[in-house]
Amino acid sequence: MTAKILVAGILDTKGEEIKYIARQVAAAGAKPTILELSVGKEVGWADIGLSEILKEIGKVPEELYKVDRHQASAWVTEAAIQYVGRMVSQGEVDGIIACGGSMGASIATAIMQSMPIGIPKLMATTMTSGDVRPYVGTKDICMMYPIAEAGINTLTKRILTNAAGAIVGMANSPAIDTSDDKPMIGCMMFGVTTPCVLRASKTMEDHGYEVMINHAIGSGGLSMEQLIEDGFIEGIMDITTHEIADEMLGGVLSAGPDRLTAASRKGIPQVVAPGGLDLINFGPLDTIPKHYMEQTNLPGRSLYEHNPAVNCIGVLPDEAYKIAENMAIKLNKSQGPTVICVPMRGWGACDLGAPNKELGWAGPAAGPSWVADPDKAEWSLRSRRFMDGMKEFLDLSKPNIELLEVDKHMNEPEFADLMSGLLKDMLDGNWKKNSRSHLSYVHSI
């Protein structure tokens, strides 16, 4: 069957480039349909013209011409998302390719972000040479740098032909064997929580689940929230939640204010831990805010130089209390079984009271983010204050929410087994509060 490819762009400024891509899509064996995203004037030759898509929101092109380009682009984006959404639902789109500058990329990738994961999406834009996070969002969008902003010449012909070939190739990729698909579990990982995540994930795989392990670098958390929202994830081991600290305290790996909300909203089982929440992440040393550098003498605030491009500042115990408040308020809305597991002996490889290579820190002294509890030296003061916050703000009267104080380090095998065991019980329908009371190192609050 011939693949159906949408070829989209602002045609009053990039018309020749879009026409060329459409011809090359056809030459590669697919059927192109040109979708107009113009904001200046309607060209009159598109397969799906501006007038047609604007009907979706009750507008006509003349109204666009009377407002600024920002408002015009917003209307075109809104209308095109609705129009393309209907085409997708009717099976009329096997892939989409667009070419444009900053505005063209903004409109086209917004459309792509509205489309389901798995439909091939390719954006050719010079904006690819910069930060592409706003364009990609949480979807599987391919970004291609076309060298030139506009024009058809010896060089751009080659590049745009490659782009056309790529989208047709993706749309004609081999069928996927789904006979061995298994229920999917979500899991978040960062370097400091790797031992815990790998062990817990292996346990879930041994019990017949697939595990999607996302890298907790901001985009990873955003993607996981989207995967949950879209129904791909049946349960989550949210082991690594440090993106919340970056959001609250100004780090560079924030996943936004809605991190840790989708699972509660969808009602899927979730087991949550404060993995990596002992650190705020920054880039090179000179990017760390001055006030943090001036506080490195405070207990828990120390500097950790991971490499020249990645440096971290410790989270203060009282900040951990505020983070717990933020997380508790979100988790109180949970519709499904939810357990928060707090490892009292540290939250990752940098949060250790003594060197332990198996847990991620070779020494020679305690981990750089470690701060001991003066009342119980083997416990972290940060963990103590986090527990204080959870006890204050988490609604433990709800039958589906439990808080566990765990006398283990995050990366000890027993903690990984606790999290995977709890999630398995939830998925099997066997979970209940106090189900781990027989374990000497677990205390249910």
What are the boundaries of each domain within the chain? Answer: 4-171, 184-444
> Using the 8-state DSSP alphabet, how is residue 147 labeled?
S
- Report pLDDT for 290: 93
Quote the CA–CA distance of 419 and 133 in Å, as a whole number.
Answer: 32
DSSP symbol at 300: T
Closest CA to 320 of 374, 251, 389, 269: 389
pLDDT in single tens digits along all 445 residues of the chain: 789 999 999 998 888 899 999 999 999 999 999 999 998 888 999 999 999 999 999 999 888 888 888 898 999 999 999 999 999 999 999 999 999 888 899 999 999 999 998 999 999 998 888 788 888 888 889 999 887 667 677 778 888 999 999 999 999 888 877 777 789 999 999 989 999 999 999 999 999 999 999 999 998 999 899 999 989 999 999 999 999 999 999 999 999 999 999 999 999 999 999 999 999 999 999 999 999 999 999 999 999 988 888 999 999 999 999 999 999 999 999 999 999 999 999 999 999 999 999 898 888 888 899 999 999 999 999 999 999 999 999 999 999 999 999 999 999 999 999 999 999 999 999 999 999 989 999 999 9
* Euclidean distance between CA atoms 333 and 161, whole angstroms: 50
Could you please state the CATH topology (level 3) that the domain comprising 4-171 is classified under.
Rossmann fold (3.40.50)
Which value, to the nearest 10 degrees, does the dihedral of the CA atoms of residues 125, 128, 129, 134 take?
130
Same fold, 4-171 and 184-444: yes
Nearest to 298 by CA among 317, 282, 323, 284: 317
User: What backbone phi and psi angles, to 5 degrees, belong to 304?
Assistant: -120, 115
**Angle between helical axes of 317-331 and 381-393 (0-180°, round to 10):** 30
Residue 206 amino acid letter: D
Decide: 128 and 143 in contact? Cβ < 8 Å.
yes
pLDDT at position 63 is 87
Q: Is the bond into 364 cis (omega within 30 degrees of 0)?
A: yes
Give the model's pLDDT for residue 40: 83
Is 184-444 assigned to CATH 3.90.700.10?
A: no
pLDDT reported for residue 308 = 86
- Residue 135: which of 126, 119, 123 has the closest Cα? 123
| Surface-to-core class of residue 45, CB atoms within 10 Å of its CB (0-12 exposed, 13-18 middle, 19+ buried) | exposed
Pairing assessment for the beta strands 121-124 and 95-99 based on DSSP bridges:
parallel
> At 14, which helix (H) or strand (E)?
helix 11-27
Q: Measure the CA–CA gap between 212 and 232, rounded to whole angstroms.
A: 10
How far from 53 is each of 50, 59, 132, 313, 346, CA to CA, in Å?
5, 9, 26, 49, 55
Q: What is the pLDDT of residue 149?
A: 67
Q: Work out the end-to-end distance of the chain between its first and last CA atoms, rounded to an integer number of angstroms.
A: 59
The CB density around residue 168, as the number of other CB atoms within 10 Å, is: 25
List of residues 6+ apart from 184 with CB closer than 8 A: 209, 210, 211, 212, 232, 233, 234
List CB contacts of 316: < 8 A, sequence separation 6 or more: 295, 298, 299, 300, 301, 382
